[in-house]
A and B are shown apart, each in its own frame.
Chain A
Amino acid sequence: DTEVTQTPKHLVMGMTNKKSLKCEQHMGHRAMYWYKQKAKKPPELMFVYSYEKLSINESVPSRFSPECPNSSLLNLHLHALQPEDSALYLCASSQEGGGKTEAFFGQGTRLTVV
């Protein structure tokens, strides 16, 4: 199984809502990532989890709150978002160890903030 599964595929939320994005992989990868991708732009790294611990936060606003409950799951909790946060949110995973490994990406969640 080389899949990264993201749910939901689409999400529309108001600026006062609280919602969560979910990501799951069963490849035994211990590094998991959240990327944000605006239209016509490359993916931008938001967070990296390694062995269920937050390793990198790329100065992401606190209205985005990541969580890694176990080695297979990665969540992104959303609260009080702004319309400019509308984007495609991509989850990825890779083997740990900084070695010869690629990132496997999910299909993304298309988020619209109204």
Chain B
Amino acid sequence: AQSVTQPDIHITVSEGASLELRCNYSYGATPYLFWYVQSPGQGLQLLLKYFSGDTLVQGIKGFEAEFKRSQSSFNLRKPSVHWSDAAEYFCAVGARDQVFNKFYFGSGTKLNVKP
């Protein structure tokens, strides 16, 4: 069965500091992996995605993520956090059906940014 684990419920970093959000997945085949960001009361915005190929993927807003098959991980990173990055971050796996993907989400990590 597919599942996504985000071990950190809350993370606080200082503005300008680096950031890493952890994500571990369980999926029987090669996974399609995603990171989404959600501001309070808003929908989900796609930050980046991994389907295949290069294991380091670049996304919007200066984010990147690295797929590590041996560790079943897809951690999100940013070298220098901005106050506007404060939000909830969800890792997701796309479980492939014949005609559509089912998207399963981790429980989320809430990022606080200190001035």
Number of A-B contacts defined by CB within 8 Å:
77
Cα distance A87–B30 when bound, in Å?
A: 33
Known A-B contacts A50-B100, A96-B99, A100-B32; A88 and B41 likewise in contact (beta carbons under 8 Å): yes
**Which A residues from 2 to 34 make CB contacts under 8 A with B?**
4, 6, 31, 33
A27 to chain B minimum Cβ distance, whole angstroms, is: 13
Known A-B contacts A42-B105, A42-B106, A42-B107; A110 and B99 likewise in contact (beta carbons under 8 Å): no
Known A-B contacts A42-B90, A42-B107, A102-B94; A90 and B44 likewise in contact (beta carbons under 8 Å): yes
We find that the number of chain A residues with CB closer than 8 angstroms to chain B is: 32
Interface string of B40-55 (1 = CB under 8 A from A): 0111111001011000
A100 CB contacts on chain B under 8 angstroms: 32, 51-52
A107 CB contacts on chain B under 8 angstroms: 42-43
Cα distance A96–B99 when bound, in Å?
A: 5
Q: 14 A–B contact pairs at CB < 8 A? A: A6-B43, A42-B106, A43-B90, A43-B105, A45-B103, A48-B102, A55-B100, A90-B44, A98-B101, A101-B101, A102-B34, A102-B46, A108-B42, A110-B41
Residue ranges of A at the interface with B (Cβ–Cβ < 8 Å): 4, 6, 31, 33, 40-43, 45, 48, 50-51, 55-56, 88, 90, 92, 94, 96-108, 110
